[in-house]
Structure 1
Amino acid sequence: MDKLPKIALPTILLIIVAIILVSKSAIVIGSGEAGVLYKTFGEGVVIDEPPLGEGFHLVAPWNKVFIYEVRQQEVFEKMKVLSSNGLDIQLDASAWFQPRFQDLGRLHQEKGDQYKERILLPAIRSAARSVVGRYTPEDLYSTKRDAIQNEIFEETKRIVEDQYIQLNEVLVRDVTLPATIKDAIERKLKQEQESLEYEFRLVSADKEAQRQRIEAQGKADANRILSASLTDKILQDKGIEATLKLSESPNAKVVVVGSGDSGLPLILGNN
């Protein structure tokens, strides 16, 4: 067997080392992700340059890349809070958020990859306790829930706006009241609804009575005007017109002119 050339062994070793170095240096960042570069022999976390975007990257093998998800995410939280009158309320909420891309290096340096547990969730709890503490259970059960949700969002956003987190929305999924309080509120709402319905019926009946009075008054005024305009002469003329029309009928009859009490014709036959 022929011996390998003297240069072959070092070449093979160099190729192996190069493959190892490339494999250690090659970084692939997936869709919706970004990388924070850490320079071991430099300034550490790189914060004055944009994060590494999606795709293939080559970095020095002694450096590190920390990958973060930068698209919108959702976090859920169940918490117990107190209403304005001190009652325990269970609140289920979720938040839509994402780390701010341009501040990803600072987020990694100051907060770390556990920023959701360290920053976001405590902020949601604090905001929820503060907001719910200003409302009664009746408010939480009614249509004011949307207003409460908006207030929690605004207060949470104010807390995290300087923490390199972009808060997109806070959603109140469910509000659970003590059973006795819930039943009492439902009874009260039912009574209020029945009272409103009764008042509506009274108003409707009053309007109908007013309509009937106006209609009756109109008819009475019309009859009074008509009666005032009907003189004896007009009545006699109307009677004569009606008698003439009857006399033109083909049916046999006897008409006596001027024999009535008022001088109107009399019809004596109708065969």
Structure 2
Amino acid sequence: MEKLPKIAFPIIIALVVGIILISKSAVTIGSGEGGVLYKQFSGGVDTENTYGEGFHIVAPWNSMIKYEVRDQSVQEQLPALLSVDGLPIEVDLTIQFKPMYNKLGNLHQTVGVDYYSRKVKPAINSVARRIIGQYTAEELYSSKKNSIQNEIQTITQKDLADVYIDLIQVLVEKIELPSKITAAIEDKKTKEQDLEKYKYLLQTAQKEAEKVIIEAQGKADANRILSASLTDKILQDKGIEATVKLSESPNSKVIVIGSGDSGMPIILGNQ
């Protein structure tokens, strides 16, 4: 070391310092991440720019905060919610969200990296509590799952957009009522289904009876009209028409004209 020229020491020191500065200044933002630059001495959070994936050089006294910008999914159980009739309801949700990429600086400045626990979860809890409190336990159990899901998502999306968070979707995975209430609702639904089935069978039987009555009435009316229209003159004419057709038949026969009742012909033959 004593044989090294004096100029070498400043060079070595400069190299060491340079390496340290570069190591502190080099920032790599990974796949699916976005970066927010905090400028220590010149304005704080850079809200104008979001730094994308790759290698970046920043001043050693500044810092780069990384955010996950992919779609994220969290499952939440919301206990102790009450229906409009005061019954306890447990709801399981799947919440899909992500930060607004172009607003990462604003999000970091106003909320911070723990934005899920500070904004997303409380907003979902509040809205879900308010919406579920509008329905009865029976409505929640039977037919309101999709309606609740859509209402929670629509209202919360707007609230979170104001704080630079994109709520992608809210899925209601389960709505659970006390077991006694569930059993009572199931029993009621079974009785309602049985009643509807009985009504259907009764209506079917009634329609069949009406059909038989209508058919019988039609036949009676037809017979009455036919009887009223068959006078002796018409019968004689029909008999003569039949006689003419029989006389034209190749079968051997003897026809005696005017010897039957009411002057109708008598037909004699070996067939």
TM-score, length basis structure 2: 0.88
Where structure 1 has 5 or more consecutive residues not aligned to the other structure, the ranges are none
What is the distance in 2 between the residues matched to 1:201 and 1:270?
59
Query: 1:9 Cα deviation (Å)?
Result: 4.4
Query: 1:158 Cα deviation (Å)?
Result: 4.5
Which position in structure 1 is the counterpart of 2:100? 100
Q: How many residues align?
A: 270
Secondary structure at the aligned position of 2:244 is classed as helix
Secondary structure at the aligned position of 1:258 is classed as coil
Secondary structure at the aligned position of 1:262 is classed as helix
Secondary structure at the aligned position of 2:124 is classed as helix
Where structure 2 has 5 or more consecutive residues not aligned to the other structure, the ranges are none
Per-residue Cα deviation, 1:77-136 (whole angstroms, up to 9, x for no partner):
102111122222111012221222333223223322111112211221121111111211
Give the residue type in structure 1 aligned to 2:52.
G
Which position in structure 2 is the counterpart of 1:66? 65
Which position in structure 2 is the counterpart of 1:150? 150
Secondary structure at the aligned position of 2:78 is classed as strand
What is the distance in 1 between the residues matched to 2:134 and 2:250?
94
Structure 1 residue 200 corresponds to structure 2 residue 200: yes
Query: 1:172 Cα deviation (Å)?
Result: 0.8
Per-residue Cα deviation, 1:194-242 (whole angstroms, up to 9, x for no partner):
2222222233333333333333333333333333332222211221222
Structure 1 residue 241 corresponds to structure 2 residue 241: yes
Which position in structure 2 is the counterpart of 1:90? 90
Query: 1:6 Cα deviation (Å)?
Result: 4.6
Give the residue type in structure 1 aligned to 2:151.
E
Which position in structure 2 is the counterpart of 1:10? 10
Q: Which moved more, 1:102-111 or 1:174-183?
A: 102-111
Which position in structure 2 is the counterpart of 1:181? 181
What is the distance in 2 between the residues matched to 1:58 and 1:216?
98
Which position in structure 2 is the counterpart of 1:216? 216
What is the distance in 1 between the residues matched to 2:181 and 2:68?
43
Question: RMSD value over aligned CA atoms?
Answer: 2.5
What is the distance in 1 between the residues matched to 2:108 and 2:223?
94
What is the distance in 1 between the residues matched to 2:222 and 2:171?
66
Query: 1:60 Cα deviation (Å)?
Result: 0.5
Query: Where does 1:126-145 land on structure 2 (aligned, <5 Å)?
Result: 126-145=126-145
Secondary structure at the aligned position of 1:17 is classed as helix
Q: Which moved more, 1:119-128 or 1:246-255?
A: 246-255
Which position in structure 2 is the counterpart of 1:123? 123
What is the distance in 1 between the residues matched to 2:6 and 2:212?
122
What is the distance in 1 between the residues matched to 2:91 and 2:266?
94
What is the distance in 2 between the residues matched to 1:234 and 1:25?
121
Once the two structures are aligned, what percentage of the paired residues are identical? 58
Query: Where does 1:45-60 land on structure 2 (aligned, <5 Å)?
Result: 45-47=45-47, 49-60=48-59
TM-score, length basis structure 1: 0.88
What is the distance in 2 between the residues matched to 1:54 and 1:203?
70
Give the residue type in structure 1 aligned to 2:143.
T
Query: 1:8 Cα deviation (Å)?
Result: 4.2
